[in-house]
Amino acid sequence: MGKRDQEEELLKTLGDFTSKENWDKFFTLRGTDDSFEWYAEWTQLSDPLLSQLSSPPDAAESVQILVPGCGNSRLSENLYDAGFRGITNIDFSKVVISDMLRRNVRSRPGMRWRVMDMTSMQFVDETFDVVLDKGGLDALMEPELGPELGNQYLSEVKRVLKSGGKFICLTLAESHVLGLFFPKFRYGWKMSLHVIPQKPSDKPNLHTFMVIAEKEKSAVLQQISSAIIPSSLDCYGNQVHGLQEALESENQIRTEYSSGSDILYSFEDLQLGAKGDLTELSPGRRVMLTLGQQGASRFCYKVVLLDAQQQSSSFVYHFGVFLVPKARAREWLFSSEEGQWQIVESSKAARLMMVLLDPSHANASMDEIQV
């Protein structure tokens, strides 16, 4: 049996890519010194990666890099040999972390290896300059499992990155992955999309892309830039077509958000400053948002947040919540902007949150909704 056939047989042992036990078995069967490269290899990655990491060139040793879901790839070793000494590798498989530590303890003594779940990292906020993901997000985003693990992981990435830091994600850029990735990095992030060159001898298969999200101090919403020329990747058919559709759709959403249209924001968008500082009242501010997330929350709600148009010392309440029954949610009083302002005025609240119930809440008790 050739090496390629052996690799395919080993991959069959994985099944669920999110199972620690499956990965332990995979790495045990594979052995200590036999690395496995998902997607592109160092010869294809070195130029695009180093161009993102080496700024300025003499600062390589001080750059703090996190490699989540490191597996037994040689990516970290190659980066270390290229001059990057501040590399921390994490994986939830004790088997592979032990193997990688033994493999590098003498030749690369400064490299750190930790057993850790990438969806729940044990690092303080703003620890790293770079988070470098090679297939980790893709592995968490198996379509049948939904977006919950991917969402948790990306939240952790955002938390542990320093201001000005970069999330560099090497991915197959499938539509269900980008459907989570792009919205998650809307406000306060500068995003770009790049293609990783293939080996000249490679037959058209699935192409590897590099998505970069750079953490900025402002919450300005920017378009995602792309260095990809679709016509040069025609042989990859549906993969590139899906990527282009996702990119165009997301940039259209960002254009609409920037235009001030009546957009339905996520709570995370607002936390990142999409509509200003929500800890302060802003007379006349009206924001539509969703609370909860499909697949991750028991309930999701459409909410309208309104700050009274005129601030007054006669307010009875600083903040009020108004639950609109699903049978009345389409009435003019609750569905129109004019009607909503009337409710704010009559509520005598400085800020009112209207929660519009819908058929998805039909079997929920009021106690469950209020919780």
Longest dimension (CA), the chain: 82
Last residue of some domain: 195, 229, 258? 258
Residue 242 has pLDDT above 90, yes or no: no
Of the two residues 112 and 24, the one the predictor is more confident about is: 112
Q: How confident is residue 3, by pLDDT bands cut at 50, 70 and 90?
A: very low
Q: How many CB atoms lie within 10 A of CB 170?
A: 25
Q: Which positions ≥6 away from 233 have C-beta within 8 Å? A: 195, 207, 240
User: Do 194 and 331 lie in a common domain?
Assistant: no
User: Do 203 and 278 lie in a common domain?
Assistant: no
Domain count for the chain, please give it: 2
Last residue of some domain: 229, 258, 287? 258
CB 18 within 8 A of CB 142: yes
User: Do 101 and 86 lie in a common domain?
Assistant: yes
User: Do 253 and 299 lie in a common domain?
Assistant: no
Residue 368 has pLDDT above 90, yes or no: no
Residue 84 tokens, joined? 């990057």
Residue 229 has pLDDT above 90, yes or no: no
Structural domain range at position 317: 264-370
Residue 312 has pLDDT above 80, yes or no: no
Say how far apart CA 109 and CA 264 lie, in whole Å.
Answer: 50
User: Do 88 and 185 lie in a common domain?
Assistant: yes
User: Tens digits of per-residue pLDDT, 324-361?
Assistant: 998 898 899 999 999 999 999 999 999 999 999 887 77
Q: How many CB atoms lie within 10 A of CB 260?
A: 7
Cα–Cα distance list, 136 to 17, 68, 175, 212 (Å): 10, 7, 16, 14
Lowest mean pLDDT among 54-68, 146-160, 252-266: 252-266
CB 209 within 8 A of CB 171: yes
Across the range 187-196, mean pLDDT stands at 92
Residue 1 has pLDDT above 50, yes or no: no
User: Do 364 and 228 lie in a common domain?
Assistant: no
Residue 76 tokens, joined? 């970290």
Question: What is the pLDDT of the chain when averaged over all its residues?
Answer: 85
User: Do 216 and 292 lie in a common domain?
Assistant: no
SS3 125: coil
